[in-house]
Structure 1
Amino acid sequence: MERRLYDAAVQGNKISLLDLLGEDALLLDRFITGRYPETPLHVASMLGHLEFVHEVLTRKPELAKELDSHKSSPLHLATAKGYLQVAKSLLQVNPDMCLVCDIDGRNPLHIAAMKGHLDLLKELVQARPWAARVLMEQGETILHACVRCNQLEALKLLVGRVSDHEFLNCKNHEDNTILHLAIAAQQTEVINFLISSTTIDVNCVNEDGYTALDILSQNQKDMTNKQIVESLRRMGATQAKENPLSSSQLKAIRTKILLSPWEQPNAVSKSKKRKHGKRIVHSNKNGDWLERKRNILMLVASLLAAMAFQAGVNPPSGVWQDNGPSGFSTTESNGKNHTAGLSVLADNHPRAYTRFLIYNTTGFLTSLSIILLLISGLPLRRRFFMWVLMVIMWVAITAMALAYSVSIAALTPDHSYSSVINILGTGILVWIGLMLILLLGHTIRLAFRLIKLAFRLIKYILKLVMRLVNLISPRHRV
């Protein structure tokens, strides 16, 4: 029956699939529990049989995370062939497969970028944007892969959506940036884009001590190279080597730079492997950290919202069980009557009830706000947004703590009131001190990040100003 199911997957025959499942309802489960080189979902995804894929995913969505003998998921295969609708179906079931790497260390985003499937790449980036920042096993970024495969549009898309200055200037195991690769491959359009539209560092030095300007031919007769050299010099590019390289030296250096990492088995030293291994782990940890924070915030916000709701509908001291005069006793009612189902605290301690209501409502609404933001689909994948959500969470927790204090104070008899107030006052002071320390620590971290970002922005603006000045003012040469 497995053979017949494979044949149905090759043909994309949905009717045969349903007939086989009618004969054996556990047929698909055997591909999860058994050892097979690939599943029928792999075959159908690779061949683009959308209806077959949809039927399998409807009945057994767990198959979306199964890997074949090359550690490729169905999403890897659909992405490689450019089947957009198949990939969308797989993403709806399990978007985390964007993070899974195959035997060559490539996840589906790497494959989409290398193949130039822009629509697919957009979907994958939208599903899991931080997957684009995972390094491949060879120590190269997805931007390196775009340049190696001459995929300029994919490079522009990724630079605009997931790249920053640090990631843009990331080096591979030979310390070559994407600018080194683009110049070695003589990709003029890529070079012009990097120089004019990004914050690429034009003076990065690779492990052999060459900058981008060093590996460019200084032959003035080559007009293309001449224009690139002038553009680099306007950006402040310099040569690390005093003497220009000969044509044969340039050819040898460019060949070495362009040689694929997997074609250089002895090129990666142990120290380089350790360094780039740390980068991969750091990138994965960053995504894991954000996901853990989201899950924790959602859990705590849900608990606080449930507590606040329960306290609101069942306030301290409970509610009146009958209609009658209000007050601590019938003689102290002052002619006021209470109504069954209304708050006892509101009648006996109206000011305390008002404070309790303010604090409890604040905690309830802030908790609901966190839940709403987390499920809204907004791109809250940056540490800054997580910091904002944590501040909102602090407000919610503090409001619930104040609501607790008001409730305890209102429920305490007169003979114990002073001691309880002292205990609550001490607890509140300790709590405020702890909150201020945490807020100060996170604010200092955020300030350092903003200062670094400001310096990068100023540097980029200065480069733009220098470029404009060089374009406007005439150049005089002696």
Structure 2
Amino acid sequence: MDLRLQQAAESGSINELYALIDENPYILENIDAVPFVSTPLHVAAVFGNIEFAMEMLNLKPSFARKLNTSGYSPLHLAVEKEQSDFVSHMLWHDGGLSRVKGRNGVTPFHLLVIRGDDDLVAECLITSPECIEDVNVDRQNALHLAVMNDRFEVLQVLTGWIQRMSQKDAYYIENRVLNKRDFDFNTALHLAAYKNDQQASFTFFEIRFSISCLETITKMPVGGAEPS
């Protein structure tokens, strides 16, 4: 990347960005042509420059899903650098960015779970509900990661979301999320039991009971039997 472009991204100078584009109209195109590269959006993410990032997204939307040579998207870096406002703006701009798979299949949503940021985890679920289904290369979903990293507050957010979503399709949620098994055939409940994590285990039993009740209700016939 041109050093001046990097400096513009670091400082958040949109004027300097356009001065460089005026000098070389292909400056962004040349970066985009590289499969794995650090883009100006990656740099802006590290420094939390929201306005610059939004301008960059207008010019090159593809940068939002571009991985650098370390296997991270701009949103991955923003999460790692604890740029919470930046992350929030990106999520509301395009909720699907929380699902971009980087190194080891880890998504920005997974990173937020691991770091225990329950507020941004909730924002991910609102802006992209399907993110709760995503798994890493070890087939671990957000529930597995929350248990493994002792993120009980995040686990409560996740199970609360699952409970609400199960009202629409309990069977789907139970099988695609709650009962998801990792490479070692463990569900998140198994991991909680192995760790003797009573809080997490009780939470899983509660949500399973709730879903079981919903499934029973949906199978009940409507009205009474017809008179003979």
Higher relative contact order (CA 8 A, sep 6+): 2
Whole-angstrom distance in 2 between the partners of 1:128 and 1:160: 16
Is 1:453 the counterpart of 2:215 in the alignment? Answer: yes
CA distance in 1, matches of 2:93, 2:189: 38
Question: What's 2:169 paired with?
Answer: none
- Alignment partner of 1:29: what SS? helix
Is it true that 1:190 corresponds to 2:200 in the alignment? yes
Per the alignment, in what secondary structure is the counterpart of residue 72 of structure 1?
coil
Aligned partner letter, 1:454: T
1:65 and 1:139, CA in 2 relative to 1: closer, same or farther beyond 3 A?
A: closer
Distance 1:79 1:199, change over 3 A: same
Q: In 2, distance between residues paired with 1:452 and 1:55?
A: 46
* Correspondence 1:163-174 to 2 at 5 A: 164-166=173-175, 167-174=177-184
Q: 2 CA distance for matches of 1:31 and 1:80?
A: 23
| Partner Cα separation in structure 2 for residue 159 and residue 185 of structure 1 | 19
Aligned residues: 208
Asked if the contact 2:37/2:66 (under 8 Å) is kept, the reply is no
The Cα of 1:455 is off from its aligned counterpart by: 7.5
CA–CA separation in structure 1 for the residues paired with 2:183 and 2:123:
29
Cα 1:90–1:187 change in 2 (3 A) is: same
What pairs up with 1:305-320 in 2 under 5 angstroms? none
The 5 A counterparts of 1:222-233 are: none
Which position in structure 2 is the counterpart of 1:468? none
- 1:57-80 CA-to-partner distances (Å, cap 9, x unmatched) read 233333222221233221222233
In the alignment, structure 1 segments of 5+ residues that lack a partner are: 201-449, 459-478
Q: Work out the CA distance in 1 between the residues paired with 2:23 and 2:92.
A: 29
Distance 1:8 1:179 in 2: 48
Larger Rg: 1
- After TM superposition, where is structure 1 displaced by more than 6 Å over at least 4 residues in a row? 455-458
- The equivalent of 2:170 in structure 1 is none
- DSSP-derived class of the 2:103 partner: coil
* 1:51 positional shift: 2.4
2:8–2:14 contact (8 Å) kept in structure 1: yes
Q: Deviations over 1:70-92 (max 9, x none)?
A: 33221222233343332243335
% identical equivalent positions: 27
Inter-partner Cα distance in structure 1 for 2:58 and 2:74: 15
Do the aligned residues in 1 keep the contact of 2:36 with 2:66 (CA within 8 Å)?
no
Output the CA distance in 2 between the equivalents of 1:171 and 1:78: 29
C-alpha spacing 1:34/1:165, structure 2 compared with 1 (3 Å): closer
| Contact 1:130 1:162 (8 Å CA) reproduced | no
Per the alignment, residue 58 of structure 2 pairs with: 58
- Alpha-carbon offset, residue 143 of structure 1: 0.3
Give distance in 1, aligned partners of 2:181 and 2:149. 17
Q: Specify whether residues 155 and 10 from structure 1 end up closer, same or farther in structure 2 by C-alpha distance, changes over 3 A only.
A: same
Report SS of the residue matched to 1:198: helix
Deviations, residues 373-400 of structure 1 (Å, cap 9, x unaligned): xxxxxxxxxxxxxxxxxxxxxxxxxxxx
CA 1:66 to 1:175, structure 2 compared with 1: closer, same or farther past 3 Å? closer
Distance in 1 separating the partners of 2:186 and 2:192? 10
C-alpha change, 1:141 and 1:9, in structure 2 (3 Å) is same
- 2:223 counterpart residue number: none
Q: Given the superposition, is the C-alpha separation of residues 136 and 62 from structure 1 closer, same or farther in structure 2, using an over 3 Å criterion?
A: closer
Aligned amino acid, residue 56 of structure 1: M
Query: Structure 2: how far apart are the matches of 1:65 and 1:178?
Result: 29
Q: 1:125·1:132 contact (CA, 8 Å) conserved in 2?
A: yes
Q: Answer yes or no: is 1:181 the counterpart of 2:191.
A: yes
Q: How much has 1:175 moved relative to structure 2? A: 2.5
SS at match of 1:28: helix
Per-residue deviation, 1:183: 3.3
Indicate the residue corresponding to 1:21 in structure 2.
21
- Aligned equivalent of 2:208, options 199, 216, 234: 199
Letter in 1 for 2:208: T
**Counterpart amino acid of residue 79 in structure 1:** V
Paired residue for 1:114? 114
Partner of 1:37: 37
8 Å contact from structure 1 (residues 64, 93) kept in 2: no
Residue identity matched to 1:101: K
Determine if contact 1:147/1:182 at 8 Å carries over to the other structure: yes
Q: Deviations over 1:306-362 (max 9, x none)?
A: xxxxxxxxxxxxxxxxxxxxxxxxxxxxxxxxxxxxxxxxxxxxxxxxxxxxxxxxx
Once residues 124 and 184 of structure 1 are traced to their aligned partners in structure 2, the CA distance between those partners, rounded to angstroms, is: 28
